[in-house]
Amino acid sequence: MQKKEYERFQKNHKNCLYAYAVEYKEIRLEKRRPGRPGKHPTPPVLDIKWMLHVDIVGEDPHTMANFQHKEECFVLITYQYFI
């Protein structure tokens, strides 16, 4: 499950200029039925959720160089004056 989320995150941020570190956190919740347990209690329902924690580490030098190269441009303005 967490791999799908990470792939979705990478797809959405494929043009990101920064390097990031990913950490997975697992959250387990036991859901019990309300009230006093019976003589033969049913086991609690275990609900597992994964949280994706992303930290920005710094700039990605390769991606940043490509971005700066693409953003460079040259504009030539000519002005002709007729008398």
Q: Distance from first CA to last CA of the chain, Å, rounded?
A: 74
| Cut 0.75: pTM above it | no
Whether 13 maps to a domain, the answer reads yes
Instruction: Give me the chain's average pLDDT, please.
Output: 82
Whether 63 maps to a domain, the answer reads yes
Whether 78 maps to a domain, the answer reads no
Whether 81 maps to a domain, the answer reads no
Whether 77 maps to a domain, the answer reads no
Residue 57 sits in which domain range?
2-33+42-71
Grade residue 54 by pLDDT with cuts at 50, 70 and 90.
Answer: confident
Per-residue pLDDT for 19 more than 80?
Answer: yes
- CB 8: neighbour CB atoms within 10 A? 11
Domain count, the chain: 1
